[in-house]
Every structure is written in C-alpha cells, then in structure tokens.
Chains A and B, each alone.
Chain A
C-alpha cells in the first residue's frame, strides 16, 4: 500500500453505536490530521497530531475521540453520534520539519470514510 489509506470507505451507523475509523500513512510523515467535510462547506480541521502528540483539538464534541498509537496510524473513535455528524471524514498526513520547506509539500489525503448516521 502506498500513500494514505482509510477504512472503512463507507459506514452507516445508528446513534447508539460505537465505531472506529482507521487511517494509515505509508509516507514516513510525522504529522496526521482528521478533517470533516460536509456538503457545501469548507474542510473543517478536527484534530492534529504531531510526533504522536495531539497539538490541536478544534472544539470538536467529545463524541469524537482520536487516538494516535504511532506515527503511521490514526484512529477516530465514534460514539453516540448525531445525524448532523454525517459527512466525509478525511485523514491527512504531512512531514512537519518546522520549516517552510517541509510544508511546501502540503498535506496528503486519504480517500475518506463516508459516514451516515441514522
């Protein structure tokens, strides 16, 4: 596998279910991100992990719980979601070396998980 992979690609869950989204990056990057993309809205950053430490939590409800066990894997644990949480959830990675040089390469995205909450 190359690049950034995400599983599952599609998920339908009820409001009382607990599920997890998985992301894996094969690029040797040291930073990983979760984004939410709803219809006709800009990408919303949810969480940032740099060197496996959470460095940003963008006022995300506690029903979303991230986990980063190592620099290649990122999880998003979901519980008691609401129908308005239905969206495309995108994972991304980048090489953050603390200089603009690293950022010149931007972020690489996975294909996303399309989540529907009933």
Chain B
C-alpha cells in the first residue's frame, strides 16, 4: 500500500464549479499535513498546511480526519488559474522527510 494515495484524475471541471480532492495516508504516526500545487514543468509550491481543526484560505478549505486517515481539499468558485496538479504531502513523526502523493491533476475549463 502506498504511504500517501491520491486519485490521479484528471479532473476536468467548468470555471466557477466547486471541486474536492481526497487523499489517504497509511502511517498513523503522520504528524503534519500539507497541500502543494505544481504547475506544468514547474516546481511544487506550498498551497496550505492542514490543521486538525480544518482551515480555510480564501476559496480553499482543507480538512483532516485522523480517525479515517484522510485529508481533503475543497476549491470553491474555481478559476482558470487553479489548473494544476495538487499534491498531498505528509510528514511522519520522527522522520526528517516529507512523503508526497502522486498528485491529482485538475483542469478548469472556460
């Protein structure tokens, strides 16, 4: 089983729609959680950290469910510029590294 698992997509949604991604992780010692965004042929960039109580940053909402070991990302009122690959990332307690999911590719259509 992969340490971090995501639906690779692709997701194709119309502009203005709401889209949600889920990600599951296998290690119960996972400590910190992040969503990164990677544009085509560019480096990954931190989109947001995911906190236990859930957190929101503008149109983006992240949720964490430790009991079921999954995290989610919700994008409301999607824009063309949201088209990218979204990477689910986990840090294991005591480990000096991040574990990346395969990424979910999102395309917003006009």
Contact = CB atoms under 8 A, between A and B. Distances in A.
Same complex origin of A and B: yes
Interface of A: 31, 33, 40-43, 45, 48, 50, 55-56, 90, 96, 100, 103-112
B1 interface: no
A56 B97 contact: yes
B12 interface: no
A110 B42 CA distance: 9
The 6 closest A-B pairs by CB, nearest first: A109-B43, A43-B100, A106-B46, A42-B102, A103-B32, A42-B100
Given A42-B103, A45-B97, A96-B96, A106 B89 contact: yes
Contact of B34 (A33, A43, A96, A106): A106
B49 A55 contact: no
B106 to A, nearest CB: 16
Contacts of A108: 46
A109 B96 contact: no
Contacts of A56: 96-97
